[in-house]
Amino acid sequence: MRTGGFRRRLVVSDTLFSMDGDLAPLADLVELAERHGAMLMLDEAHAVGVFGPNGRGAAEQFGVESKVPIRVGTLSKALGGAGGFVVGSRPLVEWLLNRARPYVFSTAHPPAVAAAAVAALDIVRDEPHRRAELLSRAAEFRQALAQEGFNTGSAAGQIVPLIIGQPEAAISWSAELRRRGFFVPGIRPPSVPPGQSLLRISLSFGHTAENIEQLASMLRAVRARLTALAS
């Protein structure tokens, strides 16, 4: 890592990756940033509200919050609203307030949107069973798929990829599932590497164990149908 010629150095990573559903090695990233005198910025968009004892994200889950100078995220995923946030030191916040052009030249959210965000944060704080049950159901779902021979990679959260391979096949799977009443997007390059096209299954607390079993059963049925058509 060549960093000597730069006065400011910044390491940036997601914490929970949006397509493969795997977690970044946060302890390693903290060590890397410290070793090279760099700031570490983590994007918690898919982890906030799901990971951590208080739902603050993967940095909280792995105990590295105090070593991460900048965290960003969204209010539009687990929190169900709109907009986003930056978490950092007071000097960083003041600097952004005065120098960040997209912020300076943006209009404020309507009061209803701000109130919805605050209410969502209250739910995250007061109802931890939601994220615990979601992660438990996701783990059971991944295990059930693995037992059926499906490839879910190294997913570790509520985003469960079903790796298909070629883009045409992923789109065929997605279309067949949609015809049967399930919206499961097919993801192709450049969103994923060549040869790694997948179905992106995104679970929420609102998906019951029955819903998840229905999807697992439908995936088996779609595999059987498409295999038969290809033979």
**Which residues are catalytically annotated?**
18, 46, 77
CA 85/CA 135 separation, integer angstroms: 24
Strands 70-74 and 84-87 come out as antiparallel
